[in-house]
Structure 1
C-alpha cells in the first residue's frame, strides 16, 4: 500500500511542475528528512533554468502556488506513513509477521491432528486388548477345574461355574465352618518329625514398605523381629530398630508391633552399653547381637535384663573397613540367625577377602565351626543365612538385582544362582532373614521393607 501511495505522490509532483521548466526536470530531486519532532517530511526540489537566484520580493504567484501545493503533498505523505488513524504503518514487516504467525498456527494445528490420530490409535489398541482379556477371563470361568484322584490321574470337575462350592456360597460356606484346625504335628509325615521345612531358596517376592525413616540418621539402619522370643515381656510381634548413622550409636527402639512402627512412636528406648558398628546386628532368642564399634568384639545384649550378657572377639576377623560389603558402611562383620542357629559372616587376612562363615554359640559367642567360601566379600552387596546356607545379593543399587551365590554349610560346596531380587529404593544397606515369618527384612535408602521368600524342599536330610 505504501509503495502505491508513493507512486501516486510522485505522479502528483510531476503534475505540479510549471510550464517552461521541462528543461529543469532532469535536475529535480525528492528529499526525505525528519523535522525537530521526529516526523518524516518529503521535499521536492526543481532547479530553475532561468534564474540563478531567487530575489526576495520578486517571487511569482505561480511559484507561490507550487509551494502551497508542495506543503499539502508533504502533509499527505506524512499521513500515509503514520497511518490514517494516527497509528504506525506496519508495511512489509507487518505482513511478514502475520504470515509467520499464520504458518506457526498451521504447523501447530497439523501437530495436534497427528497427536489426535496417535492417541486414537492407542485407544483402539487398548480397547482391543481389553476385549481379548475379557474373552480370556470368560473362557477361564467356563473351564472346569482339574482334580487329581488318589491314583494320580487328572480329572476334570464337571460342576458348572454356578455351583456354590466354586463361588464360596451356600452349603460350601457351611462346610468351611465345620473344618477344624489341626495341630502342626499332624501335618508332618510319619518318620520325619524333625522336619523343619528347610530347603533351597526358590524366589524372593517384591518389597513391602512398612515405614520410611524421618531424619538423615535413618539413611542406614537395622530393623528386626525376634524369630524365637524369650519371656512374656517381648513377643515375636515386637519390632526393634537401630538408626546406624552417627558417631556413637547406642539407641535401640522397641515398637509393640508393625502398626506402632508405622506410626513412628516407640513404646521403649533402650540404651546399649557399647556403641554399634554398622548394620550387621541380629535378633535371636531374646538377645540383640551386634559388633562393637571399631573392633572385632561381638556383644550379646539381653533384652529382658537390659544388660550386657556376654562379649567375645571374633578371631582374625577384619573390622572397620578392612573387608566390608561393596556398599561400604564398615559392614565387615554381619551377624545372622536362621533355622540352624546364630552365624557370623565376615572375612580374614588369611582368607584374602573371601567370605568366611562361622557358626556361633548363642550364649558364649564362641565359634563352633567355620567355612571359607570362594566368593569375595567386597564384590557382593549383602548376605544372609537360610537353613544353614549362605546367600549373597549382587547389587545394592540396581533396581533389578539377583541373589547370585549360595554356599551350603552341610556339604561345604558353593555355586552360582540367579534368584531375582529388587532394590526398589536403590540403596539397600541391610538384609536379614526371619525364619519364623519366612521373610527378609531390609533397609533400603531410608525405607524399612520386607520380602516374602519361598523355599524348595531340601534335597538331603539335614536334620
Structure 2
C-alpha cells in the first residue's frame, strides 16, 4: 500500500509536466539614433593644428624684422658713401676706390632686397594658407561639437566663464594685494611713461678724443657735493684708471674741472701741476685750489684695479665698475682711495664674451652693467646657467660689497643694447637705427612681471650708446654716446 501511494504522486507530476505549455522566447531590438563619433576626423583636426603651429612661429616675424633693419642700415651707409664720392669729384673724374665700394654695396643691397621680396612673398602665401586652415579647423570643430549630445563641452564653457567671473570678483574685493617681498626704491611717481630730450648734448673739454666712457651724478652724494658731476673717459674701448669731477653742469660743459676743494696752502696742490692757488678775498691763509679734478684709481693702465668697460656708476662717494679681467664688481672709495670687490656667481660671462649688441655690432667689454636707482646699486650680467639671458643682482653697501637678491629674466642679453633701473624696475633698450633707440622691455623686481612691449623711444645724437644710467636725484637719464655726454628727462606716472 505504501509503495502504491508513492507511485501515484509521481505519475500525477509527470502528467502535469507533459500538459504544461512551452515557455515563449523573449527578444528586444536596440536601435542607435546617434551616429558613431568620427574619431578619424578628430585626429585629422589635431594633426592640422599641430602642423599649423609648426609652420607659424615667432622666429619668422623676427627674420623679416632683421632683414628690414639690415636694409635700412645698408641704405644709410650707401648715402654716406655717395656723399664722400661727391666730395671727391674733380669736375670730370671720380675716385675709383669709392666707385668700387659703392658698386659692391649696391650689389649687396640688391641681394638683400631680393631676399626680402622672397621672404615677404613666402609670408604672404603662408598667411593666406594659415587663414584658410584656421577657417577649416573652425568649421570641422563646429561639426564635431554636434556629437556632444550630452552637452559636456557646453557645460565646460559655462564653467570656464564662471571661473573667470569669480576671479574677477575676487580681484575686485582684494584690490590691495600684499607684496611677497619688500619693494625696492620709491615708486610713488608711477611707472616710466616717456623719455624726452636730449636736454644736454656736449663733448665737454675732450672734443671727441674719448669715444667711450660714462658720466652722471651721484644719487647719494657726500655733503657739499650734491651739484657735482663725474666723468670716466676710457682711454680705449676697454680701460680707464681715473674719475674726473666738475663742480656744476656749466663747469662740465665749458670744460672747467674744479670741484673747489679747500685746504691750507702748504706749497702744493692736490697732486695736479695744472692747478693754481686762489687767495681768499679776506686775505686769510686758507686758500682755494682750482684745478683738474682727477682722482686716480691706479697709477698704470691696465692694472688689477683698472676700470674695464664703460658701464660704471658713482653712488655714495664710491665708484662701482667691472674689475679688470675679473668676473667681479669693484668699488673704489673716493675718500680712502681703497678698492674692494665682490665676485659674481660661477659661470658669469666676462672679458667681452657676452656684450650688449644690436643687429650688426656689439659694444666691447659691456658684459657687466652697473646701474643705480632710488635704492642703490645694481649689476646686470649673464651666466652660462641662465643660457645668456639677463641676470640682475642687487649690490649691497657692505664692506666689502656683497650681492643681495638675484633675478633671472627671459630676455637674451645680446639682443639688448643697454639697461637702466628706475624705482626697482629694470628697463632694457634696443637699437632701432642711427637716430632712434627703443626702451622695449621692463622687469619689475617687486612682482616679477615682465613686459616686452614698453614702446618708449629715445632720440639719439649719435648712433652708439655705450653707457646709460638713471639718476633719481633729478629723474634724468645720463648717456655717453660716441664721445658726447647727453642727458634725457624721464617722465613717470
**Range of TM-score over shorter length:** 0.5 to 0.7
Structure 1 residue 226 corresponds to structure 2 residue 240: no
Structure 1 residue 361 corresponds to structure 2 residue 351: no
> In structure 1, what is the equivalent of residue 344 of structure 2?
314
Give 2:328's match in structure 1, choosing from 297, 307, 312. 297
Query: 1:42-71, CA deviations, whole angstroms, 9 ceiling, x for partnerless residues?
Result: xxxxxxxxxxxxxxxxxxxxxxxxxxxxxx
> In structure 1, what is the equivalent of residue 312 of structure 2?
281
Greater relative contact order (Cα < 8 A, sep 6+)? 2
CA RMSD after TM alignment: 1.8
Give 1:333's match in structure 2, choosing from 368, 375, 378. 368
Q: CA deviation at 1:306?
A: 2.8
> In structure 2, what is the equivalent of residue 265 of structure 1?
256
> In structure 2, what is the equivalent of residue 243 of structure 1?
233
Q: CA deviation at 1:198?
A: 4.2
2:439/2:458 contact within 8 Å kept: yes
CA distance in 2, matches of 1:345, 1:321: 14
Alignment CA distance shift 1:219-1:413 (3 Å): same
User: What SS does the aligned partner of 2:226 have?
Assistant: coil
Structure 2 unaligned regions, length at least 5 = 1-184, 259-292, 299-304
Q: CA deviation at 1:253?
A: 0.8
Structure 1 residue 453 corresponds to structure 2 residue 482: no
User: What SS does the aligned partner of 2:308 have?
Assistant: coil
> In structure 1, what is the equivalent of residue 144 of structure 2?
none
CA distance in 2, matches of 1:324, 1:397: 19
CA distance in 1, matches of 2:355, 2:391: 12
Give 1:438's match in structure 2, choosing from 475, 478, 485. 475
Q: Which structure 1 residue ranges, 4+ long, deviate > 6 Å from structure 2?
A: none
Structure 1 residue 427 corresponds to structure 2 residue 464: yes
> In structure 2, what is the equivalent of residue 255 of structure 1?
246
Structure 1 residue 201 corresponds to structure 2 residue 226: no
Q: CA deviation at 1:293?
A: 1.6
Query: 1:380-439, CA deviations, whole angstroms, 9 ceiling, x for partnerless residues?
Result: 110000111110111175312310000111111211110111222212111100011100
Q: CA deviation at 1:304?
A: 2.2
2:239/2:309 contact within 8 Å kept: no
Alignment CA distance shift 1:393-1:350 (3 Å): same
> In structure 1, what is the equivalent of residue 23 of structure 2?
none
User: What SS does the aligned partner of 2:250 have?
Assistant: helix
Query: 1:255-296, CA deviations, whole angstroms, 9 ceiling, x for partnerless residues?
Result: 111111112132211111321111111111111111112211
> In structure 2, what is the equivalent of residue 324 of structure 1?
355
Q: CA deviation at 1:195?
A: 6.0
Structure 1 unaligned regions, length at least 5 = 1-193, 457-463
Give 2:446's match in structure 1, choosing from 410, 431, 437. 410
CA distance in 1, matches of 2:343, 2:412: 22
Query: 1:197-239, CA deviations, whole angstroms, 9 ceiling, x for partnerless residues?
Result: 342110000212342153564101011210111234xx12111
> In structure 1, what is the equivalent of residue 35 of structure 2?
none
Alignment map for 1:151-190 (pairs within 5 Å): none
Under a length normalisation based on structure 2, what TM-score does the superposition of the two structures give?
Answer: 0.51
User: What SS does the aligned partner of 2:367 have?
Assistant: coil
User: What SS does the aligned partner of 1:205 have?
Assistant: strand
CA distance in 2, matches of 1:328, 1:425: 14
2:428/2:440 contact within 8 Å kept: yes
CA distance in 1, matches of 2:249, 2:436: 27
User: What SS does the aligned partner of 2:231 have?
Assistant: strand
2:355/2:414 contact within 8 Å kept: yes
Q: CA deviation at 1:302?
A: 1.3
> In structure 2, what is the equivalent of residue 399 of structure 1?
435
CA distance in 1, matches of 2:447, 2:243: 37
CA distance in 2, matches of 1:371, 1:412: 8
Bigger radius of gyration, 1 or 2?
1
CA distance in 2, matches of 1:418, 1:195: 23
Count of residue pairs the alignment pairs up: 260
Give 1:372's match in structure 2, choosing from 385, 390, 408. 408
